[in-house]
Structure 1
Amino acid sequence: MPLLLCRRRLLLLLLLLVAASHGDASSDTYDTSICLEKPTTCGNVSISYPFYLAKETQDINGSSNSYCGYPGLAIDCDDAQPILQLNGAEKYKVNYINYGNGSITNVSLVDQEVVNDSSGCPRVDHNMTIPPISWLFLPGMSVDYLVFFLSCSFPNLFLPPENTDPITCSFIGLTGQSYVLPKDQVPPGSWTQFCQKIYEVPVVKYEPMDPKGDAWRKGGYGQVLLQGFALSVNDSRRPPNCTQCEESEGRCGFSQAREFIGCLCPNGRVRSLRCYDSDLTGYSSLKGRMKLYIIAGTSSVLLLCLLSFACLFSLKKYRHRRISKGTPRIESFLQRNGTLHPKRYTYTEVKRMTKSFAEKLGHGGFGAVYRGNLSDGRQVAVKMLKDSKGDGEEFINEVASISRTSHVNVVTLLGFCLHRSKRALIYEYMPNGSLERYAFRKNSKGELSLTWEKLFDVAVGIARGLEYLHRGCSTRIVHFDIKPHNILLDQEFCPKISDFGMAKLCANKESIVSIAGARGTIGYIAPEVYSKQFGAISSKSDVYSYGMMILEMVGARERNIDANSESSSHYFPQWIYEHIDEYCISSSEIDGETIELVRKMIVVALWCIQVVPTNRPTMTRVVEMLEGSTSGLELPPKVLLSW
C-alpha cells in the first residue's frame, strides 16, 4: 500500500509539472454573470459566497446543475424574502448572514410557518433536522430548545405535572391539551406518553422564557420562536481543493453529487485547482506567464525530488513498523491495567492456533470469528476486529469489561492479540453457537429445536448473568447490546453473555450512565437511549433489551405470527397483552406446566419493556419473578405499552 501511494504521488507531481509547462491547458469558461464578484441582496439580506441564489446554477465543465457555492446553501428569493431549505423540504426565513474576516460566522433562521402565522399562537409540525452531510451545524453554546407537546389527553386518575399549565391557544386539527416548554424545564415523569405529537425546535439561547406566565400561555412563546436560531458554516468540511481555490481568490464549483469539480476564477475560466495571476487580472501578459511557468516548473521539480526521498524513507520505516493510530491508546490501557487483562498472544501464535484462519464460524460488523485450538488442546473462538483504523474503543471495552468478570453466564476471555494493525480476542469455544439460531423455537425444517423448559432455563441464565454484571462484579457493567446474537450456548445449552464492544463501566454506586450517541441494535434499544425525554440511561436500559429478547424467544414477535392473523397489524407487545392466555395455550399444546412457564416469561418480559425506566424491575427482581410462583405475578399497566 505505501509503495502504491508513493507511485500515485509521483505520478501526480509529474502531471502537475506538465500542467505547469502548458499553462492554460484548463481553459473551460463559465458565465461570469452567474458567479457575481459583488454580493447580491434579497430583502435586507446580503447574499454572498458560499451562499448563492437558487437560480444560480449552470453547466461547469459538462456538469449540469452545478453550483457556484456550497451545495445546500442555495437561497430562494421569494417576494423579497430570503428562504433557505433544510432537508429539501423545511423552509426557513433568513434573518441575516454574518460575514466576518472572510468567513461565515453564522446565519440566523426562523421557521417560515412561524413567520406566516397570523394567529399569534404559532405551532410547529416538525423537528428541525440538519442533514448529516450538511455544511451547516447548530453551535451548542448559543442554542436552547422549545418542546411542543400536542394533543395531550390524560386518562382518569392520571394528572399532568404540577405547575405545568396548558397553553390557551386552540390549534386547528388538534384535540386535547397542548404545552410549550423550554427543554430544560420539562418536568420528569411518564406524562409525555399521553401526548400524540412531540416536537423539539431550537431557539436563541438567553432569550427570556417564562412558561409559568399568563402571557406565555396566550401565545407569548411565539416571540421566542420569531427570534429564530443561528447555524454556523462548518469550515472543517471544506475539501482541501476548495481551500486552495479560495486562497487564490477563486470560488468552488460543486456538482449535484456534492463533488468539487473546478475552481471558478474572476476572469471566467475554470481551473482544476487554483486561479493563476492572469485569471485574477483578466489580462494575460506573456512576460508574467513565462515567469509563472518557470516558478511552477522549478517548484514541481524540487517537490518531485523531495517526495521521492520521502517515499523511500517512509517505505523503509513502514516495512519495520506499521501501527494503527489506536494502538498507542490500547498499549497505554494495557500498561495501566497490567494485572487485570488475560494472556497476550503474538499474531504468529494466533495464525498457528487457527491454522491460518482456516475455519470461519461467523462474521459481523466487528469482523470475523474463527475456530482455533490452544496448545493444551482447548478449543477457542478467535474474533478478529476489522476496524484497525479506529481508536481502539471496542477492543478496550471488551478487554476492560470481560477481564473484570467471572460468572457461569458470562463468556470467558482467554487471551488477546495486539500486533501493529492486527487485533484479536480469544474466547472459550461455544459449540452450539448463538441463541439467534433458537430464538424462534423452530429450525429450518419447522421442528421444535429447544423445549420450552430449556428455553426457560436459558432465559433464567441470561437474567442471572445480567444481574451479575449490574451488581455482582467489582465494577458495574451496562452491556447496551443484549440480543440473541450476543448470547452464546455451550455444549449443555448454558447461556453466556458475549460481545462487550458497546459496554460501559461505572462505579458500583452509580445508577446513571452517560454515553455519547445512541448505541445498540434497532428493536432492542431502550427508548431513553435514543431520546432523553423518556428518562435517564442506566442499567434499566439492559432490562428493556432483555424483555424484547424474551418476547422473541417465546415467538412473540411480528415475524413469527401468521400474516393473515389479527396480530399482524398491531404492535405485538400490545397484542400479546390482550391475548396472553390463548397464546400460552396454543404455544404449549395444552400442557399445564408449560402454560405456566410461557405465561411467566411473557409477563416478566412485559414488565421489562415498560417505557419509563423507573417502572422496569431490576435484574435481581427479574430473577426472583422467574424463579418464584406465578400466583402473585400480575400484568403491568396496559397503558404504558402504547408508546
Structure 2
Amino acid sequence: MAVSSLCLYFLITAAAVLGRASQEDCVDYSGCGEPKDFHIRFPFRLKDKQPNDCGYPGFNLYCTSDNQIAIELPKIPVELHVSFIDYISQIIHVNIPEFHAVQFKKSVQEYFLDPTNSPFAYGLSRCTLMNCSGNPFPCASDCLIPNDGGSRYGNLCAVYSDGIIKDHPEVIWCSKMYNFFGVPTSLVESTDTVLYFSLRWSEPSCTRCERQQKGCRLKRPGTDHETECFTFNKHGKGPWTKSLVTIGLIMGSFVVLLMSIAAFYVHASDKNEKENRLRIKKFLEDYIALRPARYSYTDIKKITNQFRDKLGQGAYGTVFKGKLSNNVLIAVKILNNTKGNGEEFINEVATMGQIHHVNVVRLVGYCADGFRRALVYEFLPNDSLDKYISHAASDTNYSLSWEKLQNIALRTAKGIEYLHQGCDQRILHFDIKPHNILLDKNFSPKISDFGLAKLCSKDQSTVSMSTARGTMGYIAPEVFSRNFGNVSYKADVYSFGMLLLEMVGRRKINTDAKEENGAHEVYYPEWIYNLLEEGEDLRIQIEGEEDAKIAKKLAIVGLWCIQWHPIGRPTMKVVVQMLERGEDLAMPPNPFASTGPSKTMTKRPARRSPLEFEAIAE
C-alpha cells in the first residue's frame, strides 16, 4: 500500500512537470486574431486558448463574436471589452457600448462594492468638494457628491482634484471643503457612444516582477496564492520551457528511482507500515487536542500545573501559562466571577468558534464548570504589542524595526478585514488596541479578546447599542453619541487608526502627555497631522529614508481612520490597499477642530467632549 502511494506521488509530480512545461504558451499571448496594443499574460489568461495555470483564479478573458477581448465577470449582464491592461499599476481598462450602459449601471455598484463577488474593485477618482454658494457661474460636477453633502450647504460641486482651475475656471469663485475618493459622474451620466472605466486588483501582486521586466507566475501550478518572478529566456519564454528530450530524461530518472524505492519497500514493508500507523495515530491525537474542546475545572488546574505560571492580569480575568498532554503550550484565561453576567464568556466562545484566520488568535477550548469559567487559547511567546509600544522609548530590548511594525500593521488590518467581511456574519470587535494584539514567535500579530464583540449580518449597516463599550482613547465618537453618526464596523476602523498612531510615535496616546515644562497638554495625533500637512519630517527617531517612508505611510493611514464622522473613514479593505500601496497617499481632511497649523506640539484645542452629548439609546 505504501509503495503504491509513493508511485502515485511520483506520477503526480511527473504530470505537474509536464503541465508546467506546456506553459510556454502563457507568455505574451497576442489576443483574439487581431493585433492589440497590449499582451495577455499572468494573472490573466485567454480562456479556451491558454492552460488554467497561465492565469490566476477569477482573471479569465475570452474572445467575443466580433474578435474583441472581454473579461469574464459572471454577475455582470453585459460584455466588458478590454481596451488596455496596465500590469505595473494593476489596472485593467474596459468599455461597453452606451446602449448597454443602463443594464450595467444597475449592477456595477452593488457588484464591485461586495469584495466576495470579484477580485476587482472599481477605480475611484480623487475629487475635491467645492462650496459654490453665490457663484455666478454654474459648475458641472465630475464626481458624484458624497451622501453627507447638500444638507448643510447650498450649491455644491465635486470636481477632479488634478487641474481644478484649468478644467473648471468657474470654481475660482468657490471655496474648497475637502478631498475624497469618489465615483465619476460619467459612470452614471455618460452621453458618449461608449462608456469607459477602469478596474483595479490587489492580489496577486506582480508589480515588483513587472518593474524588473520579469515574468510573474504561480509558484506551484495548481495553487491559488503564492507567486514568483522569473527571467525570460532569449526566445521570450519562461524557464519552464523544456525539450521533449529533457522531459524524457526526467521521466526515465523517475522510473529508475521508483524501481529502487519499490525494492526497498518490499524488503521493509511490515516495519514501515507499523511506523506509519503509529504516526497517523499520533497526528490524530494531536489534531483532536488542538480543536476547540470543553474542559473541566480539574483539567484546567492540571493543564496550568495548579496555576503556577502567571502571565498577566486584566479587568476581566487572570492569564496563566499551561501545557496540553502533547506538549502544546497554551494560555488559560480564568474569568472573574464578579464581572458581569457571563456575557463576555458567551461572546468570546460564540464569536471565536466561527473564526479561522492566521491573524486572529485561535481558541483551543473553554471551561464552563459551575460558576467557574475559563478560555484556553494558543500560546503566543512575544506577549502583546502594547509591551513594545509602552517600553520602546526606554528599553531597546522591546524595540521593533519599522519593517516589522509595518508588517504588524498590515496583518492586523487583514485580520480586522476578515472579521468584517470573511465570516458568515460580520464581527465587530469594539476593543481594538495594542493590548489585544498578540505576537507569535515571528512577531506576526493575532487579534485577541472578543469579550465586547457584536455579531450582525453583512447587509446590516448599523448596530444597536445600549451603552458605550471599549477602552477610552480608542472608542469611536459615534459609540458615545449619535451626533457623529450611527454605530457600525467603522468604529473598529477608528480604533485601528489610533493603534497606528501609537505605533508611529512608539508611545501611548490615549492618555494626556505633558510637555517638558509641564505647562500644556499635548495631543499627539494633531501634532502629527500639522507636521504632515506642512510637509515637515516627523520628529521621531528614524534612522533611514525607507523607515521614514514607512512611518509617514502609517501616520497618514491612521489619520484617515480617525475621522470624526464614520462616513469619512475608509473600509478595512481600503485600509489594507493603502498599507500595501506604499507611497503617494493623499492627506485626509483635518479630523481635529484646530484653530490653525502649528509647527510645535501645541496645546490641544478646546473641543466638546463626546461624553457631553446625548447617550445612545437601545
With normalisation by structure 1, the TM-score equals: 0.46
With normalisation by structure 2, the TM-score equals: 0.47
Larger Rg: 1
